[in-house]
Amino acid sequence: MNETPRWASESFWKKTAIWVTAGSFLILIVLTFDTLSKTSAGSTRVPDYTVINQKIDYRFDEKLNKFMPIIGGEELLFDKKYTAEEAEQLVTLGKKTTQAKNCMNCHTLLGNGAYYAPDLTKAWLDQGWISRDMREDMMLKFLMDPENNARTFGSGRKMPNLNITEAEARGVIAFLKWMSSIDTNGFPHNFTSIESEEE
Amino acid sequence: MSSNESSAVLTNPSALWHKACTAVNRFKAWVALDGGNLSPGQTLAVKYFCVAVVLFFAQLLFGLLAALQFIFPGFLYEFLDFSVNRMVHINAMVVWMLYGFIGCIYWLLEDESGTEIVGLKWGNLAFLILTAAVALVVLVYILVQIGSGTDSSLWFINEGREYIEAPRWADIGIVAVMLVFAYNVVATFNKGKWSGIAGVLTLDLVALAGLYVAGMFYMTNITHEQYWWWWVIHLWVEATWEVLVGVIMAWSLMKLLGVRRKIVQTWLYIEVALMFGSGILGLGHHYFWIGTPEYWLTIGGFFSALEPIPLVAMVVHAVYDAGAHAFKNSNHPALAWIIAHAFGNFFGAGVWGFMHTLPQINLYTHGTQWSASHGHLAFFGAYATINIAFFYLAIQHWRGGVWMAGDSQNAWRWKWALGLLNAGVLGMTIALLIAGYEQSFIERAVEGSTWGGYFSAQNHPSFQNAMVWRLIWGLVTFAGLGLLIWDLLTIGKGETRKAQVIEPH
Ligand code: HEM
Ligand code: HEM
Ligand SMILES: [Fe+2]
Ligand 1 pocket at CB < 6 A:
A 112; B 162, 237-238, 285, 304, 307-308, 345, 349-350, 353-354, 356-357, 362, 366-367, 371, 374-375, 378-379, 382
Instruction: Give chain B's largest Cα–Cα span.
Output: 72
Q: Are A154 and B415 within 8 A, CB to CB?
A: no
Q: Which chain A residue's Cα is nearest to B365?
A: A111
pTM of the predicted model as reported, rounded to 2 decimal places: 0.96
Q: CA gyration radius for chain B?
A: 23
Contact A155 B73 (CB under 8 A): yes
pLDDT of residue A198 exceeding 80: no
Q: Which helix (H) or strand (E) covers residue B365, if one does?
A: helix B359-365
Q: Of 3.60.21.10, 1.10.760.10, 2.30.42.10, 3.20.20.70, which CATH number belongs to A49-198?
A: 1.10.760.10
Distance from CA of B420 to the nearest CA of A (A): 26
The tens digit of pLDDT for each residue in B338-394 reads: 999 999 999 999 999 999 999 999 999 999 999 999 999 999 999 999 999 999 999
User: Hey, where are the domains in chain A?
Assistant: 10-39, 49-198
Contact A102 B448 (CB under 8 A): no
Contacts 24+ apart (CB under 8 A), B170-179: B170/B133, B170/B136, B170/B137, B171/B212, B171/B215, B171/B216, B172/B216, B173/B129, B173/B130, B173/B133, B174/B130, B174/B133, B174/B212, B175/B209, B175/B212, B175/B213, B176/B126, B177/B126, B177/B129, B177/B130, B178/B209, B178/B212, B179/B209
Distance from CA of A2 to the nearest CA of B (A): 15
Neighboring chain B residues of A154 at a CB cutoff of 8 Å: 455, 459
Distance, CA B314 to ligand 2 centroid (Å)? 25
Contact B77 A25 (CB under 8 A): no
pLDDT at B7: 58
Closest in A13, A106, A156 to B266, CB measured: A13
Q: Are A174 and A121 within 8 A, CB to CB?
A: no
Read off the pLDDT of each residue in A100-105 and give the average, rounded to a whole number: 98
CA dihedral B491, B495, B498, B500 (to 10 degrees): -50
Q: Evaluate: CB of B414 within 6 angstroms of ligand 2.
A: no
Taking the CB of residue A139, how many other CB atoms lie within 10 A of it?
Answer: 22
Q: What is the pLDDT along chain B (505 residues), one digit of tens a residue?
A: 445 555 555 667 788 899 999 999 999 999 999 989 999 999 999 999 999 999 999 999 999 999 999 999 999 999 999 999 999 999 999 999 999 999 999 999 999 999 999 999 999 999 999 999 999 999 999 999 999 999 999 999 999 999 999 999 999 998 899 899 999 999 999 999 999 999 999 999 999 999 999 999 999 999 999 999 999 999 999 999 999 999 999 998 888 888 889 989 999 999 999 999 999 999 999 999 999 999 999 999 999 999 999 999 888 888 888 887 777 788 999 999 999 999 999 999 999 999 999 999 999 999 999 999 999 999 999 999 999 999 999 999 999 999 998 888 899 999 999 999 999 999 999 999 999 999 999 999 999 999 999 999 999 999 999 999 999 999 999 999 999 999 999 999 988 898 887 777 6
The strand pairing partners of B404, in sequence order, are B331
pLDDT at A135: 97
Main-chain dihedrals φ then ψ at residue A55, nearest 5 degrees? -80, 135
pLDDT at A197: 59
pLDDT at B1: 43
The neighbourhood of ligand 3, an ion, using CB within 5 A, equals: B 234, 238
The tens digit of pLDDT for each residue in B158-185 reads: 999 999 999 999 999 988 998 999 999 9
Q: Atom 35, ligand 2: which residue's CA is nearest?
A: B375
Q: Atom 39, ligand 1: which residue's CA is nearest?
A: B366
Q: Are B117 and B186 within 8 A, CB to CB?
A: no
Choose, out of A48, A185, A197, the residue to mutate when testing the contact with B (most B CBs < 10 Å): A185
Closest in B159, B293, B459 to A38, CB measured: B293
The tens digit of pLDDT for each residue in B35-83 reads: 899 999 999 999 999 999 999 999 999 999 999 999 999 999 999 999 9
Give the domains, in start order, of chain B with CATH numbers. Answer: 329-505 (1.20.210.10)
pLDDT at B323: 80
Nearest to A185 by CA among B298, B453, B215: B298
Q: Are B348 and B374 within 8 A, CB to CB?
A: yes
| Coil, strand or helix at B80 | coil
pLDDT at B4: 55
pLDDT at B439: 98
Interface size between A and B, measured as CB pairs under 8 A: 262
